[in-house]
């Protein structure tokens, strides 16, 4: 993992738990007698750890699953039960033998909210605060025989608050008096968490060292000569726990993995030290020089090169005393307020990066956090071509495992501290205007959090809070603590250094951080209007074309803009009883708009409608009457795709001229919510996921829905030359009434180029509903750089004609190749629409020159020999050795909205039973194919032992789930 003490042992298994009021023993008795038994008459149960009290109760079926249907209402809230009800004992035993001069620490990386720790009868009180680490020297407490008993009594937050009848943002806001998660009293996207996340929610470990231990090393890279010269700065604290002066050899080793686990040693430096007994010292290594190191880049900008930095300390007469390692990326992040847009602009390694990302709360509301889940979460974000995640202030300060995968996949992270305006400064009455009660505790937790996370390449900036700034004294302290080292100050930044620049500069690794900016709040200093006014959002369904209009958003960087997020029908059936399978009632209003009235279970799960009376007509009803849940959810996926693609493409269209970035509210839900998500809590993607994936690709061809101009967005640092665009319109009869090719285009780096207007809607007798396929080609090797498929209707119309189009049976051919590595399956599917391209109906193309604004060279429209070669590339290849599935059909046209899923092979199904295997990573999904076109789709997933997977296909023209690959 990202950071590791090589002598650390994680205590993750074998824990049991019981409600404190039901345990008749003291902590001393629990840890000096026999371990408590688990039996039908015992209060003890298997503990879910790391996790919360509620996670343990759910896991043992003591309480129902709060994420299913309305079952959260059947769980008593801490406001009604009292804090004692959720005050729990956690117990385990572990083995540890120490040799002479060895020392042992017992470590808790996160407890909510405070605890009494008993080890072998010895008591230690852990102070309050969810976001702080605890380390206890237990050297003299461990039993000589190595068998040790550990009991932890965990207390809930001091101010768990009550839930008002109508709920609201953060309940009654009492939770804001503590330094803890604030979402747990409920939000407009989340039901209340009954135990307020009480528990041992993060890693527990013991670390065994010699006399000297390594504490919180700090790694910093600096660059000179246009990134050809780099230095690694390293400072660490060292504690001598013995009573004698230790003669030590301290070393730092830097390696990089080349391939096949072969490592190249870049540097090895050793220093001799003498450390007095019972003392703690700070040591800064001489900086290490690197010539042209491999750089770490965000997703879409380059590779995520990571070096392994290992610090060792040997003690004379003892040997290796401690060792620490961390993966580290050489990169420089700069940020300033952009003069052209007023938005905050980020640069990585000197290159501007157009921010397209999302907001994040946490992966699971019961804090059932795991490396495996984090890996899936962050890979999903990378798969969507996102480059930033904002960790919202009402949720978690995310864990090192989260950051490890952000380092690995290239997701920049905006990390907020635990302030949010709804709980700290707003409300009726005004909520906690002075923030948490204990400001010193807040600052202690903040400083400790910085030390925990600062070595991660992905961590881009610290922010004081969500839609609010911390209280003045906390804000002032954070500004000083997180001041930039002069080497990292941007020349464009208005703020001046808080230090006197004339004095001798300290090494940057001696700062608490020193490399990242601190912004006081999410709507200040280049975000939203920059002054803290409510200028983020909106959060509802939008007319897709509005995202492209100048009036949609007035500021350079929107930290929160959100919309719908309905999952597929299988998720509804898996997370709700049959009463929750009822679709909304579409209530016609006098003004002609429709109001959606959801069933009570959807309402409880915070469903957000697909209409906004007075502004947006119901986007699902654009496709006609809705029959049932499956029909509703399928049409919702169509809307999800259009909505989020349009959102990002609207921002793309004004890259650097109006906008510097956007973060969507939000990417996922920490429970089974029904709004603002690209994948659901069960880890199945919505079509919005693939709309984002399309729109956020580094080089992208798109249609401006307001002007109907084709635009090419080049976010890379490379100029594109000798490229071409093919634009084809396909109607519902399978003919191609519009076909244009624009050749010999040149596209400047980091620019948006409007190419030409699509004039089909203005042509004679255009079809009321049609498909548009845009392809950006590299003319030299015929590869597709970007492909984008739209379904459109004429102004004032709708998509109702697509309903009868569902009856068209478009033939498909799917060839598949499967490889299996232990339990991981990798499948390549070649999907071809085998209906015939109506070449005779493609109109004769006119020769005309195309001039474009901004950065596009002149081009001509014609069907060249080059384009004919492109079409031959997609004519299909030999199927020898591959599995082939053919879906027969006599119709000609577009195979619309094809969707794959993976299921466990079963012969019998019960109503509502979920056979999906999740998660699955798809290179594309919810896609469409014009006649004779082929799409290659790569699929990867893990399968539980004993399960046989099958791949199914469904879509607009394909009823039900058709098995296209049964893996035997």
Q: Rounded CA gap, 591 and 449, in Å?
A: 53
Residue 786: which H helix or E strand, with range?
A: strand 784-793
Question: Which candidate in 398, 401, 560, 861 is catalytic?
Answer: 560
% of the chain at pLDDT higher than 90: 88
Low-confidence winner among 123-127, 717-721, 821-825, 866-870 (lowest mean pLDDT): 866-870
More confident: 876 or 879: 879
> What pLDDT is recorded for position 264?
85
- How far is it, in rounded angstroms, from Cα 378 to Cα 385? 11
**For residues 949 and 934, is the Cβ–Cβ distance under 8 A?**
no
Report in angstroms the alpha-carbon separations of 441 from 200, 511, 861: 19, 21, 67
Q: Which of 46-55, 71-80, 848-857 has the lowest average pLDDT?
A: 848-857
Integer Rg of the chain from CA = 29
The structural architecture, per CATH, of the domain 812-851+876-966 is: Sandwich (2.60)
Active site annotation includes 596: no
Contact 212, 248 (CB under 8 A): yes
Residue 879 pLDDT exceeds 70: no
Closest CA relative to residue 213, chosen from 135, 133, 319, 322: 322
* DSSP letter for each residue of 36-91: PP--TT-S-EE--SSS-HHHHHHHTTSS--TTSTTGGGGSPPHHHH-GGGG-EEEE
Label residue 429 by pLDDT band (50, 70, 90).
confident
The whole-number average pLDDT for the span 486-499 is 60
Residue 866 pLDDT grade (very low, low, confident, very high; cuts 50, 70, 90): very low
Taking residues 94-119, report their average pLDDT: 97
CATH topology of domain 698-804: Immunoglobulin-like (2.60.40)
For residue 705, pLDDT beyond 50 = yes
3 state SS of 535: coil
Q: Which of 101, 85, 88, 96 is nearest to 119 (CA)?
A: 96
Tell me the backbone φ, ψ of residue 239, rounded to 5 degrees.
Answer: -120, 125
Q: What is the pLDDT, as a whole number, of residue 844?
A: 33
- The catalytic residue among 3, 401, 416, 467 is 467
942 tagged catalytic? no
Label residue 908 by pLDDT band (50, 70, 90): low
Q: Tell me how many degrees the CA angle 287-291-292 measures, rounded to the nearest 5.
A: 125
Domain spans, the chain: 8-209, 212-328, 333-493+508-568+648-665, 698-804, 812-851+876-966
Assign 3-state DSSP to the chain and report helix, strand, coil percentages, each to 5.
Answer: 15, 35, 50
Task: Answer whether CATH 3.20.20.80 is correct for domain 333-493+508-568+648-665.
Answer: yes
Centre a 10 Å sphere on the Cβ of residue 439 and count the other Cβ atoms it contains. 16
| Count of alpha carbons within 13 angstroms of residue 93, beta-carbon side | 17
What tens digit of pLDDT does each residue of 362-388 get? 999 999 999 999 999 999 999 999 999
User: If you average pLDDT over residues 281-295, what whole number do you get?
Assistant: 97
Q: Which fold does the domain 212-328 belong to in CATH?
A: Immunoglobulin-like (2.60.40)
Please say if the pLDDT value at position 873 is more than 60.
Answer: no
Quick one: pLDDT at residue 6? 62
- The arithmetic mean of pLDDT across residues 657-684, rounded, is 98
Helical axes 439-453 vs 472-481, angle rounded to 10°? 30
Give residue 5's pLDDT. Answer: 58
Phi/psi-derived region of residue 707, left when phi > 0, alpha when psi is between -120 and 50, beta in every other case: alpha
pLDDT for res 758: 97
Task: Encode pLDDT of 294-328 as tens digits.
Answer: 999 999 999 999 999 999 999 999 999 999 999 99
Residue 686 in tokens: 């919505």
The pLDDT > 70 percentage for the chain reads 93
Fill in the DSSP letter of residue 491: T
User: Other C-beta atoms within 10 Å of 551: how many?
Assistant: 6
> In the structure encoding, which two tokens stand for residue 151, read together?
């009991």
CATH of domain 8-209: 2.60.120.260
What's the confidence (pLDDT) of residue 504? 62
Rounded Cα distance, 393 and 400, in Å: 17
Residue 945 — pLDDT band, cuts 50, 70, 90?
A: confident
Note whether 949 and 967 are within 8 A (CB).
Answer: yes
Domains 698-804 and 812-851+876-966 share a fold: yes
Work out the average pLDDT over 164-192: 94
């Amino acid at each position: 993992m990202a950071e590791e003490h090589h002598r650390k042992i994680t205590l993750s298994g074998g824990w049991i738990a019981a409600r404190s009021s039901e345990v008749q023993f003291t902590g001393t008795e629990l840890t000096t007698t026999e371990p408590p038994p688990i039996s039908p008459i015992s209060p003890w149960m298997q503990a879910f750890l790391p996790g919360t009290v509620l996670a343990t109760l759910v896991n043992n079926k003591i309480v129902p699953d709060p994420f299913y249907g309305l079952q959260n209402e059947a769980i008593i809230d801490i406001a009604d039960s009292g804090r004692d009800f959720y005050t729990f004992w956690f117990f385990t035993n572990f083995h540890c033998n120490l040799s002479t001069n060895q020392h042992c620490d017992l470590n808790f990386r996160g407890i909510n909210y405070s605890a009494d720790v008993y080890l072998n009868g010895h008591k230690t009180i852990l102070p309050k605060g969810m976001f702080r680490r605890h380390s206890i020297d237990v050297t003299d407490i461990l039993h000589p025989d190595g068998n040790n008993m550990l009991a932890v009594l965990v207390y809930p937050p001091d101010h768990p608050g009550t839930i008002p009848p109508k709920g609201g943002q953060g309940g009654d806001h009492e939770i804001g008096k503590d330094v803890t998660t604030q979402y747990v009293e409920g939000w407009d996207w989340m039901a209340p968490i009954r135990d307020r996340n009480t528990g041992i929610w993060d890693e527990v470990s013991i670390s065994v060292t010699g006399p000297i231990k390594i504490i919180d090393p700090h790694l910093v890279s600096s660059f000179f000569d246009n990134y050809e010269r780099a230095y690694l700065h390293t400072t660490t604290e060292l504690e001598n726990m013995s009573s004698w002066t230790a003669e030590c050899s301290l070393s730092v080793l830097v390696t990089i993995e080349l391939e096949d686990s072969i490592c190249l040693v870049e540097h090895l430096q050793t220093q001799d030290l003498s450390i007095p007994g019972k003392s703690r010292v700070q040591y800064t290594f001489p900086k290490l020089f690197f010539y042209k190191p491999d750089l770490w880049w965000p997703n879409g900008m380059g590779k995520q090169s990571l070096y392994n930095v290992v610090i060792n300390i040997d003690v004379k007469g003892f040997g290796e005393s401690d060792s620490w390692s961390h993966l580290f990326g050489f990169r420089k992040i700069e940020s300033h307020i952009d003069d052209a847009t007023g938005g905050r602009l980020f640069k990585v390694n000197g290159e501007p990066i157009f921010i397209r990302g999302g907001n994040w709360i946490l992966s699971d509301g019961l804090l059932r956090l795991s490396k495996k889940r984090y890996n899936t979460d962050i890979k999903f974000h990378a798969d969507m071509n996102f480059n930033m995640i904002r960790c919202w202030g009402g949720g978690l300060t995310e864990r090192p495992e989260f950051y490890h995968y952000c380092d690995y996949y290239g997701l920049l992270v905006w990390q907020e501290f635990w302030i949010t305006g709804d709980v700290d400064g707003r409300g009726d009455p005004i909520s906690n205007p002075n923030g948490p009660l204990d400001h010193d505790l807040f600052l202690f937790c903040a400083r400790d959090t910085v030390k925990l996370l600062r070595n991660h390449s992905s961590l881009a900036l610290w922010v004081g809070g969500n839609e609010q700034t911390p209280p003045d004294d906390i804000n002032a302290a954070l500004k000083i603590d997180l001041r930039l080292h002069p080497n990292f100050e941007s020349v464009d930044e208005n703020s001046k250094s808080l230090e006197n620049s004339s004095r001798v500069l300290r090494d940057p690794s001696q700062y608490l951080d020193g490399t990242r900016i601190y912004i006081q709040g999410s709507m200040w200093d280049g975000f939203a209007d920059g002054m803290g006014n409510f200028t983020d959002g909106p959060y509802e369904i939008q007319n897709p074309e509005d995202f492209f209009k100048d009036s949609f958003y007035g500021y350079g960087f929107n930290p929160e803009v959100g919309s719908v997020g309905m999952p597929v029908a299988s998720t509804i059936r898996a997370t709700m009883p049959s009463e929750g399978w009822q679709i909304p009632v579409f209530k016609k209003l006098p003004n002609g708009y429709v109001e959606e009235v959801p069933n009570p279970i959807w309402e409880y799960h915070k469903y957000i409608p697909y209409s906004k009376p007075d502004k947006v007509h119901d986007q699902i009803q654009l496709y006609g009457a809705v029959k049932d849940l499956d029909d509703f959810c399928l049409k919702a996926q169509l809307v999800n795709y259009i909505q989020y693609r349009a959102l990002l493409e609207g921002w793309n269209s004004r890259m650097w001229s109006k906008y510097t970035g956007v973060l969507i509210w939000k990417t996922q839900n920490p429970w089974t919510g029904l709004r603002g998500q690209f994948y659901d809590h069960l880890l199945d993607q919505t079509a919005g996921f693939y709309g984002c994936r399309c729109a956020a690709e580094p080089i992208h061809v798109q249609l401006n829905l307001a002007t109907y101009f084709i635009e090419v967005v080049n976010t890379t640092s490379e100029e594109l030359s000798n490229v071409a665009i093919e634009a084809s319109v396909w109607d519902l009869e399978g003919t191609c009434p519009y076909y244009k090719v624009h050749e010999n285009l040149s596209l400047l780096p980091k620019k948006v180029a409007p190419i030409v207007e699509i004039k089909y809607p203005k042509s004679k007798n255009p079809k009321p509903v049609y498909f548009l396929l845009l392809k950006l080609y590299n003319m030299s090797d015929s590869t597709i750089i970007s492909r984008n498929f739209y379904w459109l209707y004429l102004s004032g119309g709708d998509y109702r004609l697509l309903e009868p189009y569902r009856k068209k049976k478009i033939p498909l051919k799917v060839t598949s190749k499967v490889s299996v590595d232990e339990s991981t399956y990798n499948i390549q599917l070649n999907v071809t629409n085998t209906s015939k391209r109506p070449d005779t109906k493609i109109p004769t193309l006119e020769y005309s020159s195309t001039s474009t604004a901004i950065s596009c060279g002149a081009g001509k429209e014609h069907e060249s020999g080059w384009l004919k070669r492109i079409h031959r590339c997609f004519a299909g290849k030999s199927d020898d050795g591959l599995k082939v599935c053919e879906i027969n059909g006599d119709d000609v046209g577009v195979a619309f909205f094809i969707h794959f899923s993976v299921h466990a092979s079963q012969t019998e199904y019960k109503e509502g039973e979920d056979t999906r295997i999740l998660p699955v990573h798809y290179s594309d999904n919810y896609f469409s194919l014009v006649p004779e076109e082929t799409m290659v789709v790569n699929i990867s997933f893990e399968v539980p032992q004993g399960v046989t997977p099958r791949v199914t296909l469904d879509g607009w023209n394909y009823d039900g789930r058709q098995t296209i690959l049964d893996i035997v």
